[in-house]
Chain A
Amino acid sequence: DVKVTQSSRYLVKRTGEKVFLECVQDMDHENMFWYRQDPGLGLRLIYFSYDVKMKEKGDIPEGYSVSREKKERFSLILESASTNQTSMYLCASSLGQGTSGKYEQYFGPGTRLTVT
């Protein structure tokens, strides 16, 4: 079974702090994704990566950056956290380098981030 793990289930940070969210998958998937989920807005793609050191912006990349130094690990970075970044953050992975839409995605349990 594919397992996607996220470093924290709950996180509370202060405005202006630098925040790191870590995601690890154990199935050698090429693609990894970061989404945020907000009530009434569904899932919105922040960034995705189809290979080590490769990244592409999703629909809402502003205020975020990512890092993928190893195939199994994809990090989301909030350079200076703001209250409007309070949200549920979901990481996912899938097969299919680049053609990610053709394969099912495996999700982690999510990190609920609160910025005060």
Chain B
Amino acid sequence: SQQGEEDPQALSIQEGENATMNCSYKTSINNLQWYRQNSGRGLVHLILIRSNEREKHSGRLRVTLDTSKKSSSLLITASRAADTASYFCATDPAPGANSKLTFGKGITLSVRP
């Protein structure tokens, strides 16, 4: 079952612009994670934000979490052509001792040089 739903499904921006991607989910979570996937490759973990956190930064990435709205956003600032990839959010549903990550369907980001 898939819980996280990313929005938009596809995004095309110019190099240097900021890219904002959103993820909504239905049930309570322990944490939410964002991953990147370059074409035809495996996923790479970007950032994990716990349910008691509101914002996290990692380099040009900024992730926010609003548990009251059950949503998260990933902001990539000053985008580069190398940021072209698919981005997935994954949720760890709560409660649950044997919780497993549930991935969304992904957002395709194209950054034009």
Taking Cβ atoms with an 8 Å cutoff, the residues of A that contact B are 4, 35, 40-45, 48, 50, 56, 58-59, 88, 90, 92, 98-102, 104-110, 112
Given contacts A40-B105, A41-B105, contact A99 B97 (CB under 8 A): yes
Name the A residues within 8 Å of B93 (CB-CB).
101
A42 x B105 contact (CB < 8 A): yes
Taking Cβ atoms with an 8 Å cutoff, the residues of B that contact A are 1-2, 30-31, 33, 35, 40-45, 48, 88, 90-93, 96-101, 103-106
A100 x B99 contact (CB < 8 A): yes
B99 x A101 contact (CB < 8 A): yes
B42 x A109 contact (CB < 8 A): yes
Number of cross-chain contacts by CB at 8 Å: 66
**26 A-B interface contacts by CB (under 8 A):** A4-B42, A42-B88, A42-B104, A42-B106, A50-B98, A58-B100, A59-B1, A88-B40, A92-B42, A98-B97, A99-B98, A99-B99, A100-B99, A100-B101, A101-B31, A101-B99, A101-B100, A102-B99, A105-B43, A105-B45, A105-B90, A106-B45, A107-B43, A109-B42, A110-B41, A110-B42
The 3 closest A-B pairs by CB, nearest first: A101-B92, A107-B42, A42-B105
CA distance A56 to B30 in the complex (A): 21
